[in-house]
């Protein structure tokens, strides 16, 4: 693993825990962690059971005892490391957004070739979102009319907050790559490709290099229209990642702050009994849940990384494709790129 920040903890936990909850066809070893701040690195290695530490990422990809390289660095290092690791024959896992821009993402996909890869769009494995996917796949929403998503946070709503996420060179973008990327990935998963979009990005903090918020209107291939909003200036929300879909046969609504629940309105039911069903997605019938705890015993944020890794390893062993892979990450990047262009040009863009 290369990187040692907050996401490094979440990934370390996933490597650490995946075999406790899932039957994994590999005996994972946490060989080495790489970071530049050595004292923090040593502490983190000790805490999470990494066997070795390195301060240069090249050292990681040169190790013979490493088959998988996981990239959790700031965004500006994703492309360079991923391409290097892929060329060194490693399987590459990479935090989202895949890259700072479309050019980098394209190079990364080329480097990864047809081999297995993973982008950490961990929310795909929220049980409630996996359930949403199957409800859509079963046709229970009918023809889709509206797709609506928002990712609202407030931790950035202070000009004095700093870090690499606010530096354009390091991060590529602000709310676009950090938050909108998640919304777009889930939208593509649940509602298919978009045909055009119009967007604006906005920076509230004086002098900040990246966007604090972004608004998007979109049309999808399936005829539905969509709206997206992501913000780090949404006072009152901490991590509210919501989507709502209206189709001819029903509605779905999800909120990450209540990630163990899914709302489903079945417009096919008896008229006098129709209402939004608040499904507590903690039953053995629900995706992933049987691996965790009994009904009603909720899971947290970290379990989405564990389930992602479990699926990846299981598919790897079975020779099955896994999603989201680098190609999926590129599709998201293509849309983020259009979002930024649309905002600059103040116009609709085809996709």
- 285-324 positions binding a copy of itself, by CB under 8 A: 285-286, 292-303
**How many CA atoms lie within 13 Å of 65's alpha carbon, on the beta-carbon side?**
9
Q: Does 36 bind a copy of itself (CB under 8 A)?
A: no
Residue 143: partners with Cβ closer than 8 Å, 6 or more residues away: 222, 223, 247, 248
Shortest CB 188 distance to a copy of itself, Å:
19
- Structure token digits, residue 235: 């006072």
Distance CA 14, CA 346 (A): 42
* Residue carrying the six token digits 């997605």: 281
Question: Contacting a copy of itself (CB under 8 A), which of 30, 59, 88, 280?
Answer: 280
346 part of the interface to a copy of itself, by CB under 8 A: yes
Tokens 């709310």, located at residue = 175
* Cβ 253 to a copy of itself shortest distance, Å: 8
- Least distance to a copy of itself, CB of residue 112, Å: 29
Residues in region 158-187 near a copy of itself by CB under 8 A: none
Nearest approach in angstroms of CB 53 to a copy of itself is 17
The four Cα atoms 42, 47, 52, 54 give a dihedral, to 10 degrees, of: -40
Q: Name 213's bridge partners.
A: 202, 231
- On whether the CB atoms of residues 120 and 94 are closer than 8 A, the answer is yes
Give the C-alpha separation, 222 to 288, whole Å: 29
CA dist 124 and 23 (Å) reads 20
DSSP reduced 3-state for 213 = strand
Considering only 170, 239, 314, 315, the residue that binds a copy of itself (CB under 8 A) is 239
133 touches a copy of itself (CB under 8 A): no
Q: Which positions from 77 to 106 touch a copy of itself by CB under 8 A, shown as an x/- string?
A: ------------------------------
Distance CA 269, CA 230 (A): 34
Q: Which of residues 7-26 bind a copy of itself (CB under 8 A)?
A: 10, 12-13, 16-17, 19-20
Binder of a copy of itself out of 33, 60, 91, 152 (CB under 8 A): 152
- Least Å distance, CB 206 to a copy of itself, is 11
Residues 6+ apart with CB under 8 A from 315: 116, 321, 322
Pick from 92, 98, 175, 215: which binds a copy of itself (CB under 8 A)? 215
Determine, following the binding rule CB under 8 A, whether residue 350 of this chain makes contact with a copy of itself.
Answer: no
Helix (H, G, I), strand (E, B) or coil at 208: coil
163: left (phi over 0), alpha (psi -120 to 50) or beta: left
Least distance to a copy of itself from the beta carbon of 322, Å?
Answer: 23
Find the part of the chain contacting a copy of itself (CB under 8 A) among 61-69, 96-104, 161-169, 235-243. 235-243
191 is a site residue for a copy of itself (CB under 8 A): no
Give how far Cα 275 sits from Cα of 117, 197, 252, 278, Å: 41, 32, 11, 9
CB of 311 to a copy of itself, least distance (A): 18
Q: Which of 64, 114, 273, 350 binds a copy of itself (CB under 8 A)?
A: 273
Which one, 89 or 273, has the nearer CB to a copy of itself? 273
Instruction: Please identify which residue in 256, 313, 324, 336 interacts with a copy of itself, judged by CB under 8 A.
Output: 256
Q: Which is nearer to a copy of itself, 114 or 272 (CB)?
A: 272
Helix, strand or coil for residue 262? strand
């Amino acid at each position: 693993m290369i990187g040692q920040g907050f996401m490094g903890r979440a990934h370390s936990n996933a490597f650490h825990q995946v075999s406790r909850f899932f039957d994994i066809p590999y005996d994972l070893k946490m060989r080495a962690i790489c970071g530049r701040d050595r004292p923090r690195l040593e502490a983190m290695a000790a805490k999470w059971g990494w066997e070795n530490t390195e301060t240069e990422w090249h050292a990681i990809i040169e190790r013979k005892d490493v088959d998988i390289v996981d990239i959790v660095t700031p965004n500006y290092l994703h492309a360079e490391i991923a391409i290097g690791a892929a060329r060194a024959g490693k399987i590459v896992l990479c935090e989202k957004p895949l890259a700072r821009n479309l050019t980098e993402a394209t190079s990364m996909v080329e480097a990864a070739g047809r081999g297995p890869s993973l982008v950490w769009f961990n929310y795909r494995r929220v049980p409630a979102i996996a359930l949403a996917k199957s409800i859509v796949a079963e046709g229970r929403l009918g023809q889709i009319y509206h797709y609506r998503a928002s990712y609202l946070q407030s931790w950035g709503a202070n000009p004095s907050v700093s870090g690499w996420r606010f530096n354009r060179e390091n991060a590529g973008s602000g709310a676009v790559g950090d938050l909108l990327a998640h919304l777009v990935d889930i939208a593509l998963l649940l509602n298919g490709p978009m045909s055009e979009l119009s967007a604006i990005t906005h920076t509230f903090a004086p002098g900040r290099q990246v966007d604090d918020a972004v608004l998007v209107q979109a049309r999808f291939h399936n005829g539905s229209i969509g709206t997206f909003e992501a913000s780090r200036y949404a006072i009152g929300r901490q991590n509210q990642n919501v989507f709502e879909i209206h189709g001819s046969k029903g509605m779905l609504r999800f909120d990450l702050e209540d990630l163990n629940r899914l709302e489903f309105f079945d417009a096919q039911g008896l008229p006098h009994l129709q209402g939004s069903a608040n499904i507590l997605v903690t039953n053995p019938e629900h995706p992933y849940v049987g691996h965790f705890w009994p009904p009603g015993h909720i899971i947290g944020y970290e379990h989405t990384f564990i389930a992602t890794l479990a699926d990846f390893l299981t598919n790897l062993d079975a020779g099955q494709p896994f999603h989201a892979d680098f190609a999926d990450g590129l599709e998201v990047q293509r849309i983020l790129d259009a979002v930024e262009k649309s905002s600059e040009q103040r116009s609709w863009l085809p996709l």
